[in-house]
Every structure is written in structure tokens, then in C-alpha cells.
Amino acid sequence: MEKIFSKIQPGLLLHIIFRFQDFNEPRKEILEAHNFLQSSAVRANGGTSFRPHRHIEKTVVRTHEITQECQVVMRGAIECSLYDIDDALLVKIDIKEGDALYTLGGGHGFVILEDNTCLLEFKSSPYEGQGKDKVFINE
């Protein structure tokens, strides 16, 4: 697992790359509890079971100030440009089949590298669309 921190605000975690080969523990928490997205990696053998459950409706209103995202490459590959909080490019990195990118802050851009690439994208909600939730970075 690779963690990418801000150069402007040292210690501020902006991006996490979780590679398929990082599945080396039965359960690994990827994101700390203070994030709006929660994510774990689970590696299990046949016959493992999880108790059926449902989640309790909370009377506490959960609020967040930023949209956090995760892209999981199911097939193919993407090149990810990862940006700091001041829109400066931090790194370009390829994400391949089975890998995931988490963006907790800063920005990102993608170029699809292979035909028929398939991604799953997860965002904290409510996501109100491009006009209210995005600012484009000039390259």
C-alpha cells in the first residue's frame, strides 16, 4: 500500500494506492475512521462466513466537507495524475486490474490505457454533480 502526502501540508494524507498484491492479511483497514469513506481489504478462504447483519439508523447527522473517492480497476489499466491541495502535480502512477486508488484530498485525473477498461467508482455522498462538487485543474 502506497500513501501519498501533501508537500504543502506535510502529514496530510491525500491519496492511497492499494494494489492487488497488498491482500496479504485476513483483514486490513485501509482508511482511518475519521475519513468520510471507510474501506477494508478482506482476504478469506472458502467456508469463511460473516454473520448476517443490518446497520442501525443513526439519529446523529453525519456531515462532511469534501467528496472523497475510490476507483477500483476491474479490468484494464489507467494512468492517474495525483495532485496536491494547491493543484500541483505530485505524481503520475498506473493503476492496473485489481488495484484501487483512494483520493481523500487534493485532486486527480485519469487517462484510460487499455481498451475495455472497467472501473468501479465510489464517492462519499451526497454528490451534487460537476457544477457544485468539482473545480477543474489547469494542466
Task: Encode pLDDT of 13-27 as tens digits.
Answer: 999 999 999 998 898
From 102, 120, 108, 106, select the one nearest 31 (Cα to Cα). Answer: 102
Task: Look at residue 91 and tell me whether its pLDDT is greater than 80.
Answer: yes
- The three grid cell numbers given for residue 26, joined into one nine-digit string: 485476513
Please list, in sequence order, all residues whose beta carbon lies within 8 angstroms of the beta carbon of residue 103, skipping any fewer than 6 positions away.
14, 15, 68, 69, 70, 82
Task: Look at residue 126 and tell me whether its pLDDT is greater than 80.
Answer: no
Task: Look at residue 32 and tell me whether its pLDDT is greater than 90.
Answer: no
Can you name the residues that pair with 107 across neighbouring β-strands?
Answer: 83
Strand segments (E) across 36-76:
40-42, 69-75
Cis bond before residue 26 (omega within 30° of 0): no
Q: What pLDDT was estimated at residue 81?
A: 96
Average pLDDT value over all residues in the chain:
88
- Phi-psi region at 25: left, alpha or beta (left = phi > 0; alpha = psi -120 to 50): beta
Per-residue pLDDT band for 55 (boundaries 50, 70, 90) equals confident
Query: What pTM value is reported for the model?
Result: 0.84
Measure CA of the first residue to CA of the last residue in the chain; give whole Å. Answer: 27
Task: Look at residue 61 and tell me whether its pLDDT is greater than 80.
Answer: no
Please list, in sequence order, all residues whose beta carbon lies within 8 angstroms of the beta carbon of residue 97, skipping any fewer than 6 positions away.
20, 73, 74, 75, 76, 77
Task: Look at residue 42 and tell me whether its pLDDT is greater than 90.
Answer: no
Task: Look at residue 1 and tell me whether its pLDDT is greater than 80.
Answer: yes
- What are the boundaries of each domain within the chain? 1-23+65-127
Can you name the residues that pair with 120 across neighbouring β-strands?
Answer: 72
Architecture of domain 1-23+65-127: Sandwich (2.60)
